[in-house]
Structure 1
Amino acid sequence: MNNVLTNVPSELPPGAVMIPDFVSSRRESELLCWIDDQRWRDDLRRRVQHYGWAYDYRARHVSTDAYIGPLPAELRAECNTLCSTGLFDEEPSQIIVNDYQPGQGITPHIDCVPCFGPVIASLSLGSQCEIVFTKKGNSAKVSWLLEPRSLLVLAGTARFEWLHGIPARKSDPVSGTRKPRKRRVSLTYRTMQFE
């Protein structure tokens, strides 16, 4: 993973890498069609799907008995790529799919440290949206536009010392203007890590 991280733009927190067009437009459509045929959980402000392991949002934890089955074959291609390109040392064992409608976001957070491994990756499908990174313990902030089909990888400092969140709004600043958001679906890939 080190050679991938040498080309990180200075605007991103250290240890973060953005890969544009990680999947093709055709693959994006295939993923969205398959995802929309699955069952959604709607007990949050946004709809979610869990694969591999269920995450307990109230406890902010994954327990050893939260295994819900192997990752579906329909989602494995990107897992294989994450591993074969060296972005992950082992194939992800958990995927959470989030469905964001315009105006929805997610509170700034660091993904559960005792639960998940040293690398987190998130694939954006559908609409663009702005992500905001905030340095833990001070006021340093960095904003970045997540483009459709891009993959954001967080490791090292970006994974453990920077919070990341999506502001809840209906448009984002793009090249000096406001661009309306449409529906965005993210797939977050993680490995499990139990103490």
Structure 2
Amino acid sequence: VADVCEVHHELRQFVVKEAPPTVFYIPDFISEEEEAYLLQQVYQSPRTKWTQLSGRRLQNWGGLPHPKGMLAEKIPDWLEKYCERISSLGAFSGKTANHVLVNEYKQGEGIMPHEDGPLYHPTVTTISLGSHTLLDFYRPISSQGAAGPQTEESRYLLSLLLKPRSLLILQDEMYQHLLHGIQPCSQDTLTDRVVNLSSAGALPGETLPRGTRVSLTIRHVPKVMKAKLILGRK
């Protein structure tokens, strides 16, 4: 489990204390100019880089994570800069991020509750561009016979408001034990279950219309294969 002590002292002021361990939420991690530049780079990427999924489309940079190891590809400079910047905060326990997923969510699109799995260092970092979203967290379906049906609603715990230009870092219980997802809706009404309202500069009762959001999910894949190894085995 990542120790908060490993994280750069700069980060500690951004801990969301109302959430289980460990959430860092940094508003305005990047400037409006950087946001515009990153969006421009995302949309200038070759069309072949996009994969269409139900409810969103994405670009994969750095390689395809695989249990045997990721065949690493060079990350373009416009993303590499942010991999290094986030890694320098100690987010990956001294290692450098080597994988970026770019997700585009249009208004009304979302993603089912899921966990990120064992192929990554147990930390996920996300820069939001273009629009806010609410990231919802759920307890996993319990194997002990829980009383009553285990619906998404009954397992729902809390939400985080991710504003454009913010950086979110999830570790420990928030990363390893809880599922996270985004409801497919076109606006969000904020309640007191959104635990980072004050650090996100928002108020309960506010309704925020969603636009198109592009997220940069920046992670470290520990297991990397050298291309020569794979080619040599054919």
- The TM tier, using the shorter chain, reads 0.7 to 0.9
Residue matched to 1:67 = 71
Residue matched to 1:22 = 29
Distance 1:90 1:167, change over 3 A: same
Residue matched to 1:116 = 120
Out of 39, 42, 49, the residue aligned to residue 51 of structure 2 is 42
Unaligned stretches of 5+ in structure 1? 56-61
Report how far residue 29 of structure 1 moved: 0.5
Out of 162, 165, 169, the residue aligned to residue 153 of structure 1 is 169
Q: TM-score, normalised by structure 1?
A: 0.87
Q: Measure the CA separation in 1 of the matches of 2:32 and 2:183.
A: 25
- Greater helix proportion: 2
Residue matched to 1:58 = none
CA displacement, residues 62-82 of structure 1 (integer Å, 9 cap, x when unaligned) = 254652611111111111111
* Number of residues of Structure 1 aligned to a counterpart in Structure 2: 188
CA displacement, residues 34-82 of structure 1 (integer Å, 9 cap, x when unaligned) = 0101134233121100001225xxxxxx254652611111111111111
Residue matched to 1:127 = 131
Residue matched to 1:177 = 206
Of the two, which has the highest radius of gyration? 2
SS at match of 1:11: coil
Residue matched to 1:98 = 103
Q: Measure the CA separation in 2 of the matches of 1:108 and 1:41.
A: 22
Residue matched to 2:145 = none
Q: TM-score, normalised by structure 2?
A: 0.74
Whether contact under 8 Å (1:18, 1:150) holds in the other structure is: yes
Out of 51, 56, 64, the residue aligned to residue 54 of structure 1 is 64
Out of 56, 76, 89, the residue aligned to residue 80 of structure 2 is 76
CA displacement, residues 130-176 of structure 1 (integer Å, 9 cap, x when unaligned) = 11111335635011211001111011111101111111111011431
SS at match of 1:42: strand
Whether 1:33 and 2:40 are equivalent positions in the alignment is yes
**AA matched with 1:188:** T
Q: Matched residues, percent identical?
A: 33
**AA matched with 2:176:** F
Residue matched to 1:164 = 180
Distance 1:6 1:74, change over 3 A: closer
**AA matched with 1:190:** R
Whether contact under 8 Å (2:105, 2:214) holds in the other structure is: yes
Moved more, 85-94 or 1-10: 1-10
**AA matched with 1:28:** E
